[in-house]
Amino acid sequence: MKLHLKFVTIIFAFFFTFEIKAVESCGSQQTMDIANDITGIFSDQWSAGSVSARGVKLGDAADCVEKSTIQNSTRLDLNGYAENSSHSELPLSERIASTIEHGGWLQTSDGINYRIENGKVAQFGFFQDALSSLGISQEADIIANLGKPDDIQRFTRHGQPAEAEYYYSNKQLLVIWSSPFNMLLNINIGPKHVR
């Protein structure tokens, strides 16, 4: 009986310890959470590795993303672009599980998205309302606030200007400006940039 009780105690302690460690691995108290104010990207000392978004850091397990905030998910194809398939016809819980398993974007209702790769958060994507605190209202504001980028790529659709992508490798930023809508479209934060 003592041996059985000791075994049960060890198993309980193992699972309890594992649960605590899993919770502690999400985010960190030493990071700046940029979910409500991402203006920290303007600082010369800013580093993608020292920030979190809603308590989730780059490199955290995908399970750290609060599931109740996810309103959509998109898997990526082999080239890293959003997959146009029947994935969107699945129930949300199945799309989330599929995205966590195969990679893609977990999209939240507050404009902060998480790109998942190998079961971990590889990139943050900030869209629309999440960018309002930056005050970037014209394309020239990007360089005025962030400095000269390492690279700028301009894309066209049907012969018309579409997006301009500004790459800042030292800050691990991809800033995308929409030329047709004359607005800041999104900012991706992380070491590997995927549109």
Give 22-39 pLDDT, tens digit per residue.
Answer: 444 676 557 888 888 899
Cβ neighbours, 10 Å, residue 177: 24
Terminal C-alpha separation, the chain: 60
The DSSP code for 55 is: T
Predicted confidence (pLDDT) at residue 61 exceeds the cutoff of 90: yes
**pTM of the model as a whole:** 0.78
Assign 129 a pLDDT band (cuts: 50, 70, 90): confident
For 167-181, the pLDDT digits (tens) are 999 899 999 999 999
Strand 32-33 relative to strand 51-53: parallel, antiparallel, unpaired?
parallel
Euclidean distance between CA atoms 124 and 128, whole angstroms? 14
DSSP characters over 86-149: GGGGS-HHHHHHHHHHH-EEEEETTSEEEEEETTEEEEEEEEGGGGGGG---STHHHHHHH-S-
- How buried is residue 91: exposed, middle or buried, by Cβ count under 10 Å (0-12/13-18/19+)? exposed
Bridge partner list, 177: 164, 184
Q: What span, in angstroms and rounded, lies between the C-alpha atoms of 178 and 170?
A: 23
Burial environment of residue 126 by CB neighbours within 10 A (0 to 12, 13 to 18, 19 or more):
buried
Q: Residue ranges of the domains in the chain?
A: 32-189
Pseudo-torsion of CA 116, 87, 125, 50, nearest 10°?
-10
Mean pLDDT of all residues belonging to the chain: 82
- Scanning the structure block, which residue is given the tokens 């075994």? 7
